[in-house]
Amino acid sequence: MKIVKMKLKKVLLFGGIGNQLFQLSRAYQHKLDGKNVTLINITRGKSIIYKFLNLTQHNDWIEMNKISKIIKIECKEPSFSDIFFIIYVFFQKRFLKKNNFNTYYNLNNNFPIDIGYFQSRKHVSFEAINKVSEVLLDYLSIKNKNPSCDYSIHIRGNEFDSAKREHIQFTTTEDVENALKFADKNHFEIRIVTNSKNDAMTLFPSVSNKNYSNKQNELEDFKFLCLSKNLFLSNSTFSFWALVCAKNLYLNNYLLPTIFWYGDFLD
């Protein structure tokens, strides 16, 4: 009897943690499809490689190596051939002005590495997204903690150099009005979670300082959102993953901004 060895699938981790969680979902989707899969995580020489590729280096507030271990997917450093292919893809994107990394996902098994954000149903299933959220909750150890508050509003500020960012996080005046109306209607005291208090204060000039969560880092902010009973989201992967986790805890309702890119995975 001839034994057929399955070809190894590789998925690159890059970008912020929110993007990396989608990439982990992509890897888990390969696993669901019966394929051998590994994650490629650049840690050695990361600052040099990112600078060479003109990428913003984000703060890794979650250890993806530990998350992948829980989900039983190997995570390793790229080989030299992997690095050459990664450089090729990023330069192709720059020269061909392709704005969506999902165009590089491995559709016909022609590429050695899946390189993309994978933020739609054609890339990952509900099952893969839900599995990653379950693993994330285990990693955060918050399943048995009390709710953080009745109503949290997440505002994603423009903390990156605008010349290097391809997208802006949109929160309109109408979004702000809807967020405040929801609080008034339900007699909720709001808590604003943000990476840029200045941006949030511009959007909510009448909100007092005591209404900010005052957490000290991204991980604590994320946990706070996950444990909220009601959420207003920003157009960000940070908000999306907090919502998916919150749905498995205490969430009652959520409000979306006018522009939201991750609706494929919402009811």
- The pLDDT tens digits of the residues spanning 177-234 come to 999 999 999 999 999 999 888 888 989 998 999 999 877 799 999 999 999 999 999 9
| Helix/strand/coil (H/E/C) assignment for every residue in the chain | CCCCCCCCEEEEECCCHHHHHHHHHHHHHHHHCCCCEEEEECCCCHHHHHHHCCCCCCCCCCCHHHHHHHCCCEEECCCHHHHHHHHHHHHHHHHHCCCCHHHHCCCCCCCCCECCCCCCCCCCCHHHHHHHHHHHHHHHCCCCCCCCECEEEEECCCCCCCCCCCCCCCCCHHHHHHHHHHHHHHCCCEEEEECCHHHHHHHCCCCCHHHECCCCCHHHHHHHHHCECEEECCCCHHHHHHHHHHHCCCCCEEECCCCCCCHHHCC
What pLDDT is recorded for position 59? 83
Token code pair at residue 188: 């909720």
Count other C-beta atoms under 10 Å from residue 47's C-beta: 9
Query: Which residue is associated with the tokens 């040099």?
Result: 48
Q: Among 10-14, 151-155, 168-172, 254-258, which is the least confidently predicted range?
A: 168-172
What pLDDT is recorded for position 213? 87
Q: How confident is the model at residue 129 (pLDDT cuts 50, 70, 90)?
A: very high
Exposed (0-12), middle (13-18) or buried (19+): which is 161, by Cβ within 10 Å? exposed
> Which residues are registered as beta bridge partners of 13?
41
What pLDDT is recorded for position 103? 52
What pLDDT is recorded for position 50? 79
What pLDDT is recorded for position 100? 58
Residue 135 or 110, more confident = 135
CB–CB of 255/234 below 8 Å? no
Domain boundaries, the chain: 9-140, 151-265
To the question of domain 151-265 being in CATH 3.30.1330.60, the answer is no
- The pLDDT tens digits of the residues spanning 73-125 come to 999 999 999 988 888 888 877 766 655 566 555 445 567 889 889 998 989 99
Residue 88 neighbours by CB under 8 Å, 6+ apart:
none
What pLDDT is recorded for position 166? 40
What pLDDT is recorded for position 164? 38
Percent of the chain with pLDDT over 70: 87
Q: How confident is the model at residue 167 (pLDDT cuts 50, 70, 90)?
A: very low
Q: How confident is the model at residue 140 (pLDDT cuts 50, 70, 90)?
A: very high
- The pLDDT tens digits of the residues spanning 38-79 come to 999 998 888 888 787 777 788 889 999 999 999 999 999 999
> Which residues are registered as beta bridge partners of 254?
231
Statement: residue 259 has pLDDT above 50? yes
- The pLDDT tens digits of the residues spanning 229-246 come to 999 999 999 999 999 999
